[in-house]
């Protein structure tokens, strides 16, 4: 069965952005009932293969003797829909190698977004670049999963372009990078799904699985296809893995135990099933 989504990459003024094209996918992270989502003429896919990176290894990836650094930190991209009611928070970490990320901010603006706030902080895991993002047309946070996935892919592509050494550390490196990951993730082993109550009006869904393009959109579609509403959440890209936390409800209430099991089983089946390209039929 082919994926429900495809992704296209466009280049303009040395900035790479992703335009999304969909097939009736849910379009908002809001506490509405399922199937009331808006529609967009965009499409995402895990089978994107038409992108050839232009980047060459940067100075940060090479030692004085020309050999690659022995230890490359694990890149992390976090899209947080919970922390700020008025903006989408994006956090990018790659050890201490990231600069001001002006090209990344320009690429986000090319998606019709405003970066309303940017800050940097340091801890033991490295330098964290955080952005507050709103839609330029409305001044509000991003609630469309297709646009959220476009943000994620644009950030990862810019990371691959300006820090090619990250390619072997990211699942996207196999599609967009100069060097695919040295190890592959067994999706059956890597996939974990849990659901628990989070008060009387909503439940908390945890998903961990192998990362791929279009994953965020496909997760939301799988959830809403069984009439469960997605209110908000956080989607983390951490190396070869993706980790998602969603607040969900059924008709404004927390999921009862049988429905929790249906949701968990549906996601496990979707994430673990073999995929078949359309061309094979």
Q: For the chain (length 281 residues), average pLDDT per consecutive 10?
A: 43 44 49 38 36 40 41 93 96 88 91 94 89 96 96 94 92 88 90 96 97 95 97 95 97 97 96 58 41
- pLDDT for position 183: 87
- Return the pLDDT at 184: 87
* Conformational region of residue 32, where left means phi above 0, alpha means psi within -120 to 50, and beta covers everything else: beta
pTM of structure: 0.75
Instruction: Identify the CA nearest to 172 among candidates 131, 211, 139, 120.
Output: 211
Say if CB 18 and CB 43 are below 8 A apart: no
For residue 199, give Cα distances in angstroms to 46, 132, 196, 207. Answer: 35, 28, 9, 19
| pLDDT given for residue 233 in this prediction | 95
Q: What is the pLDDT of residue 221?
A: 96
Q: What is the pLDDT of residue 30?
A: 52
**Confidence at residue 71, expressed as pLDDT on a 0 to 100 scale:** 85
The reported pLDDT for the residue numbered 278 is: 42
């Amino acid at each position: 069965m082919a994926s429900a989504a495809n992704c296209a990459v466009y280049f303009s003024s040395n900035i790479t952005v992703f335009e999304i094209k969909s097939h009736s996918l849910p379009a908002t992270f809001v506490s509405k009932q399922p199937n009331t989502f808006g529609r967009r003429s965009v499409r995402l896919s895990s089978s994107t293969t038409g992108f050839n990176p232009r980047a060459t290894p940067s100075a940060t990836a090479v030692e004085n003797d020309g050999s690659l650094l022995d230890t490359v930190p694990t890149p992390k991209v976090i899209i947080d829909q919970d922390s700020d009611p008025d903006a989408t928070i994006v956090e990018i970490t790659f050890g201490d190698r990231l600069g001001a990320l002006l090209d990344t901010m320009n690429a986000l603006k090319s998606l019709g977004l405003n970066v309303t706030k940017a800050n940097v902080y340091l801890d033991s895991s490295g330098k964290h670049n955080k952005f507050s993002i709103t839609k330029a047309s409305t001044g509000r946070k991003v609630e469309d999963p297709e646009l959220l996935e476009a943000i994620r892919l644009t950030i990862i592509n810019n990371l691959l372009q300006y820090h090619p050494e990250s390619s072997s550390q990211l699942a996207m490196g196999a599609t967009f990078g100069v060097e695919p990951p040295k190890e592959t993730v067994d999706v059956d082993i890597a996939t974990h799904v849990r659901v628990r109550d989070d008060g009387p009006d909503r439940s908390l869904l945890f998903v961990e699985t192998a990362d791929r393009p279009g994953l965020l959109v496909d997760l939301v579609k799988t959830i809403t296809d069984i009439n469960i509403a997605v209110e908000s959440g956080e989607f983390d890209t951490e190396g070869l893995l993706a980790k998602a936390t969603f607040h969900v409800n059924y008709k404004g209430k927390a999921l009862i135990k049988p429905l929790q099991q249906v949701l968990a089983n549906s996601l496990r089946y979707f994430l673990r099933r073999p995929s078949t390209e359309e061309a094979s039929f």
